[in-house]
Amino acid sequence: MSDTEHRGSGLNETQWQQLKTLTASLNPAQTTWVSGFFAGLDYAARADLLPENGTAVTSPISDPANVPSTRTLTVLYGTETGNSAALATTLTKQAEACGLRVTMHDMAAYKYRQLKNEQDLVVIASTYGEGDPPQSAAGFFEFIEGHKAPKLPDLRFAVLALGDSTYEYYCEAGKRLDRRLEELGAHRLKPRVDCDVDYDEPAAAWIADILTSLDSRRTQTGAAITPVHPAPSAQTDTPVFDKRNPFAATIIENIVLTGRGSSKETRHVELSLEDSGLTYEPGDALGFMPGNDPASIEAVLAALDLTPSALVKIKGEPTPLGEALRSYLEITTLTPRFLDHWAGISDADALVRLTQPDHADERASFIRSHHIIDVIRHFPVNKIDAETFVTGLRPLQPRLYSIASSLAVSPDEAHLTVATVRYDLHGELRQGVASGHLATRAELDGQLLVYIQKNPHFRLPADDVPIIMIGAGTGIAPYRAFMQEREARGSSGQSWLFFGERNFRTDFLYQTEWQSLIKDEILTRMDVAFSRDRNTDGGGKVYVQHRLKERSRDLFAWLEEGAHLYVCGDAARLAPDVHLALAAIVAEEGGLGAAAAEDYLQRLQRDRRYQRDVY
Amino acid sequence: MTMTLSSSDRSRDLSQPLERLGPDESLKASSDQLRGSIAQGLLDRLTGAVSPDDTKLMKFHGIYQQDDRDLRDERRRQKLEPAYQFMARVRLPGGVCTPAQWLKMDELARAYGQETLRLTTRQTFQFHWLLKHDLKATIQGLHEVLLDTISACGDDARGVMCSVNPHLSALHAEVYALSKQASDYAIPRMRAYHEIWYGQERVASSEPEEPFYGSTYMPRKFKIGFAIPPVNDIDVYAQDLGFIAIADETGLQGFNVAIGGGLGRTDQAPATYPRLADVIGFVKPDDVLAVCNAVMAVQRDYGDRKERSHARFKYTIDDRGLDWIKAEIERRLGFELDAARAYDFVSNGDAIGWRTGDDGRHHLTLFIENGRIANLPGRALMDGFRDIAKIHDGTFRLTPNQNLTIAQISDEKRPEIERLLEKHGLCGLNRQSALRLNSMACVALPTCSLAMAESERYLPSLLTRIEMLLDRHHLTSEPITIRMSGCPNGCSRPYIAEIGLSGRAPGKYNLYLGGGFHGQRLNRMYLENVGEEAILAALDTTLGHYARERLEAEPFGDFVIRAGYVKEVKTGKDFNN
Ligand code: SRM
Ligand SMILES: Cc1cc2nc3c(=O)[nH]c(=O)nc-3n(C[C@H](O)[C@H](O)[C@H](O)COP(=O)(O)OP(=O)(O)OC[C@H]3O[C@@H](n4cnc5c(N)ncnc54)[C@H](O)[C@@H]3O)c2cc1C
Ligand SMILES: Cc1cc2nc3c(=O)[nH]c(=O)nc-3n(C[C@H](O)[C@H](O)[C@H](O)COP(=O)(O)O)c2cc1C
Ligand code: SF4
């Protein structure tokens, strides 16, 4: 970006300084993004100026002068936790409102052969694992990235990538699609936008941008744009609680499940959903909006010499800094955005160096090993004002927890199984925001802000279908819900649970419950692996995948009989290790080659018989 | 239940079909000679426990299922099963242990037993805190040094006791050898132990596995011990079958035979009572094993198998009459016992400190408070004895009072051992009040499933308070026996202490006074179900009185009877009156 020397018209000095600081910290890609962002804001702002009832809006249907576009628009999304789906829906509704001929598909259900017939394609996809697409979109990615993918010379496309900048492969799945569509000859309508976890505004801007370019009438007339987030439906009296409008659930139980002497702390939390109207199915997750630890807030304020009463803008509203740090902003885990921000403000060589593209690895490891507080302490900035500091922070995000109960057994309740994240960094004990909140700031009868996060990709099959549940640590949570549900329904299908943790004596989560389920023959089988117990067979550490292999014959027989397979828990190690073990089992027992075994598992996945909920 | 059976009444014994007997009899009979489903239970990874039936069978293997009672309630709320763990009791006749064996105990305790060992009131080691999946490794480790846990518990002949310091004379050596023979003789022959713990193959055989025990073993535990006067350290009168060595200048002549000792009782159940053994005659050393066989066979065949609380030999004797029992023993022996010979006991405590034997070797008996070997702050008992075992060329002796004798120390090694004791803070072990040196507490909480009150964890601090009283009454160096048990079972033999305490509820005990100083007389309850203040007040009064008015060499236990605090207990049945 070229250096702008003069203050832009209409900006005051502070704003001008902030803009300059920001500009200095941006790399070229970010600059592009920021320009798009402002464009979108501008567009949305102008749209907002229009009268509520939209007299100026020329409805495409009612106004015969408007010739509907002959091109069709397809909105395709790949999602795990529903963010992409929600944005796709918004986009679709707005497109419809503009009179566009639009259809929306989940990549999971999209007919790949249709692709070559598409005209305008808008893709929204999130990233998981090591730059992977959401699990349900894996098939689509394989198709489009494989050699069977058609050439797409007539296609116009745009990609919105969802991700989390604290991950190494940021928005990688979106990037892959963007790259690939171009390779296949398609024309990019608009540059890809990568969205961090606070995607609301950039996504809204992008949607506006896309619609503008698709619907030429709107640019001419400045037609209304409906808000990205529709207001709660007017028909219902009780408010519908969701991510944006979470319910204050009362804590009715909060105990430590791990026994004395355990190397970890895992809690069982029960929440009352009474009068919320919230319901869920086994497999769903609960979103929880935490607050930051007062001690972390103190530390930040002290390091910056700021007072909690200083006002900052949160969602456009002036908010006391103390409150903003407590309830609205992420103040612990370091993000690339903050690093860049602080490098710009502090001008510290060490930080500036990290922002350069050729120091990516160093930068990643720095981010992993430092919190925001470490950065502001080690690279102090004199007399920083609250607003400037806050610009570098991203909004506090809700955390998801698999629901560990079934409404059939505990009506109006949601139970969670939460591992308290605690670790030492630079000689200081650090604690996860949400899990720490639950461990230290969630007394009985207190309240937590929650919503239900649907998880349609993790569902029980019909009652008579056998299930194999594989989980480690808190990955056991949804299986407690599954078994409660099956017990309540009197399901006839067999069930087999594999569970792994560190130590038998202290970490066998819900041990007595599993024991009685086994005794009552509701749970058919259970195998456990405790990695830190002495291996009495003399080998190395034992994990669930080892138990799977020990049971290889029975396991394969279950699969052949139509069992559904579930994997829940750690995404980095458990899921891939279990997958490898399963592939080996299928190969061995089914007498298949490696490729055929992999096919077998993929078929299971496609048939939704192999579902994962990993994090 | 107060009943006297006629000698011909066989309605409650082995002659009856199993359905007529208590459930444990069927369990034993259908256990496939103690195999049960133990082997399968060990493989069940979902629980740290074994099945309830198997817990009973495992006792015959010397292994008790327990749980950490401190955590029981907490874990229930945490949706965790009780913190199941196992106690394993080693079979160690006469308490004799080689340094190599000690080192193995130490190693196993460090690996699987929470770095602690417990010396018991019957001269052996107990491991606590063993997890199910470590049991095999522990038992196999013991096997490496030729030790096992067979029948250290269960309805069978328990560990055989023998007075300590056998190397002070050839007599002791001879008696110890016999106690070992008796142990080997009386032990069950079960193959289950070898199969389950050592992984040996089951061998088909047409011979009965247990020629003596059959499939239902004994009605209840059976305890054998050998005492060598003048020391009654083993409390010979508490044994089901006791042998009292009789010797003259020419050596061992034989043994007086005492039968029917046993201490277990139940509160509020007057039909249960502690009983001291009766001396019924004299036998030659060569007849010892035959006597073991005959006495055990009588109890095997006539013992009550309907009701376990009435199944000890002491009740068989009182039900049928001592004369009848004696006659039955003699009938089975094929000869009559000689008349008992004269003997003299002076105490049931240990000779604490250094002794030099007639072979010129040295013996150091160390006071181990309640038999607990662990690395305590300032007192590294585990480390210290490990270091000593590494250089020691004699043996170790576990005493019947939960203490430890480092036996047969050579002149050369003595300074080195003294240095090691110093190094690990063990020099002061014996520098205690005479009361503490004569104290014992059973294990009780947190491991013992039967405990009603603290014992091992509590007695030391109670003693500290009693010591203040002793100090006031100038009795600090007066040997007085005091024993505490966490429940009425009496594992620390509290009913033959001058001061006895048995737990009733947390913080509450029965206080007994008047036991015989050398184990010859039961004590009697003086206060029932009281707390520390009442106990201290009672002791303050009686000890103060004792200090003022005792006769020359009069033990405290004798004094409280003479002074009228309690009435002398003459027989077991009289204990509850
Ligand atoms: C370790 C030891 C106490 C100690 O602090 O040293 C002990 C500990 C236990 N005894 Fe004992 N007894 C111990 C010597 C005794 C003695 C003393 C003796 O034999 O000289 C007695 C009294 C004599 C007698 O047998 O009458 C004794 C009478 C009992 C009884 C009552 C028996 C009865 O006839 O009523 C029980 C309960 C039972 O058997 O039902 C018992 C049961 C137990 C158990 C196994 C509890 C149980 O059944 O679940 C205790 C294990 C606690 C633990 O956590 O370790 N223990 N027990 C002693 C081990 C001796 C050994 O090495 O074999
Ligand atoms: C669908 C889904 C279901 C989930 N279900 C569950 C569940 O059932 N139970 C459950 O407990 N969790 C579950 N999670 C995870 C949960 O959402 C949170 O991510 C987790 O509780 C941590 O959140 P936090 O706010 O406590 O930690 P944060 O404040 O978010 O901190 C976590 C961050 O701390 C850092 N960190 C962690 N350990 C170290 C270390 N040793 N050294 C340096 N840095 C470290 C890492 O950067 C990590 O990302 C689920 C997640 C998803 C997506
Ligand atoms: C377990 C897990 C792993 C993730 N891994 C990545 C990643 O590697 N790269 C990335 O950019 N974002 C990653 N994210 C962030 C998600 O892409 C982000 O939360 C996105 O908003 C989710 O959108 P969705 O609800 O449509 O799936 C991860 C999120 C979770 C929960
Ligand atoms: S006396 Fe009772 S409490 Fe003490 S060890 Fe024996 S059985 Fe347990």
Cβ–Cβ contact A260 with B under 8 A: yes
What does the pLDDT average to over B330-351? 96
Quick one: pLDDT at residue A135? 82
Is the pLDDT at A537 greater than 80? The verdict is yes
Nearest residue on chain B to A513, judged by CA atoms? B79
pLDDT class of A359 with cuts at 50, 70, 90: very high
Question: How does strand B241-248 pair with strand B224-227?
Answer: parallel
Per-residue DSSP letter, B379:
E
Does residue A472 have its Cβ closer than 6 Å to ligand 2?
no
Quote the CA–CA distance of B190 and B374 in Å, as a whole number: 33
Q: What is the pTM of this model?
A: 0.84
Query: Tokens 């630079």 identify what position?
Result: A426
Cβ–Cβ contact B42 with A under 8 A: no
Residues of chain A found within 8 Å of residue B46, distances taken between Cβ atoms: 511, 514-515, 518, 526, 528
How remote is the CA of residue A132 from the centroid of ligand 3, in Å?
9
Give the model confidence (pLDDT) of A232-262 as tens digits. 444 445 568 999 899 999 999 999 999 999 9
Residues of B belonging to the active site = 89, 158, 221, 223, 442, 448, 487, 491
Distance from the Cα of residue A162 to its chain's centroid: 8
Does residue A571 have its Cβ closer than 6 Å to ligand 3?
yes
Mean pLDDT, chain A, integer = 88
3-class DSSP state of B392: coil
Of A258, A268, A526, the CB nearest to B46: A526
Cα separation of the two ends of chain B: 15
Quick one: pLDDT at residue A539? 86
ipTM: 0.90
pLDDT class of A433 with cuts at 50, 70, 90: very high
Is the pLDDT at A54 greater than 50? The verdict is no
DSSP codes joined into one string, B244-299: EEEEETTEEEEEEEEE--B----TT-TT---BPPEEEEEE-GGGHHHHHHHHHHHH
Is the pLDDT at A429 greater than 70? The verdict is yes
Counts for chain A of helices (H) and strands (E), in that order: 22, 21
Nearest CA to ligand 3 atom 12: A163
Mean pLDDT, chain B, integer = 95
What does the pLDDT average to over B29-42? 97
Nearest residue on chain B to A506, judged by CA atoms? B80
Quick one: pLDDT at residue A10? 59
Quick one: pLDDT at residue A219? 43
Per-residue DSSP letter, B338:
B
Residue pair A478/A450 in contact (Cβ under 8 Å)? The answer is no
Is the pLDDT at A129 greater than 60? The verdict is yes
Atom index in ligand 3 nearest the CA of residue A197 equals 21
Cβ–Cβ contact B351 with A under 8 A: no
Does residue A402 have its Cβ closer than 6 Å to ligand 3?
no
Quick one: pLDDT at residue A9? 54
Quick one: pLDDT at residue A34? 62
What does the pLDDT average to over B254-279? 96
What does the pLDDT average to over B27-34? 97
What does the pLDDT average to over A547-553? 98
Give the model confidence (pLDDT) of A446-484 as tens digits. 999 999 999 999 999 999 999 999 999 999 999 999 999
Ligand 2: which of A435, A474, A499 to mutate, most ligand atoms within 8 Å of CB?
A: A435
Nearest residue on chain A to B130, judged by CA atoms? A505
Does residue A291 have its Cβ closer than 6 Å to ligand 3?
no
Residues of chain A found within 8 Å of residue B48, distances taken between Cβ atoms: 504-505
Give the model confidence (pLDDT) of A368-399 as tens digits. 999 999 999 999 998 899 999 999 999 999 99
Question: How does strand B372-376 pair with strand B96-97?
Answer: unpaired
How remote is the CA of residue A615 from the centroid of ligand 2, in Å?
8
Nearest residue on chain A to B76, judged by CA atoms? A512
DSSP codes joined into one string, A186-229: PEESS--EEE-S--HHHHHHHHHHHHHHH-HHHHHHT-----SS
What does the pLDDT average to over B234-259? 96
Of B46, B78, B133, the CB nearest to A256: B78
Cβ–Cβ contact A534 with B under 8 A: yes
Output the ligand 1 site: residues, CB below 6 A.
B 64, 66, 87, 89, 120-122, 124, 126, 152, 158-159, 221, 223, 235, 238, 262-264, 312, 371, 402, 442-443, 447-450, 489-493
What percentage of residues in chain B have a pLDDT greater than 90? 93
Nearest CA to ligand 1 atom 15: B491
Quick one: pLDDT at residue B69? 95
Quick one: pLDDT at residue A220? 42
Does residue A285 have its Cβ closer than 6 Å to ligand 2?
yes
Quick one: pLDDT at residue A44? 47
Cross-chain residue pair B46–A258, CB shorter than 8 Å: no
Quick one: pLDDT at residue A130? 81
pLDDT class of B7 with cuts at 50, 70, 90: low
pLDDT class of B118 with cuts at 50, 70, 90: very high
Give the model confidence (pLDDT) of A252-298 as tens digits. 999 999 999 999 999 999 999 999 999 999 999 999 999 999 999 99
Quick one: pLDDT at residue A261? 95
Quote the CA–CA distance of A509 and B485 in Å, as a whole number: 37
Give the model confidence (pLDDT) of B430-449 as tens digits. 999 999 999 999 999 999 99
Cα separation of the two ends of chain A: 38
Is the pLDDT at A41 greater than 60? The verdict is no
Residue pair B408/B363 in contact (Cβ under 8 Å)? The answer is yes
Quick one: pLDDT at residue B166? 55
- Taking only Cα atoms into account, the Rg of chain B, rounded to an integer number of angstroms, comes to 23
Output the ligand 4 site: residues, CB below 6 A.
B 442-444, 448, 450-451, 455, 485-487, 489-491
C-alpha closest to that of A426 among A348, A353, A371: A371
3-class DSSP state of B174: helix
How remote is the CA of residue A435 from the centroid of ligand 2, in Å?
7
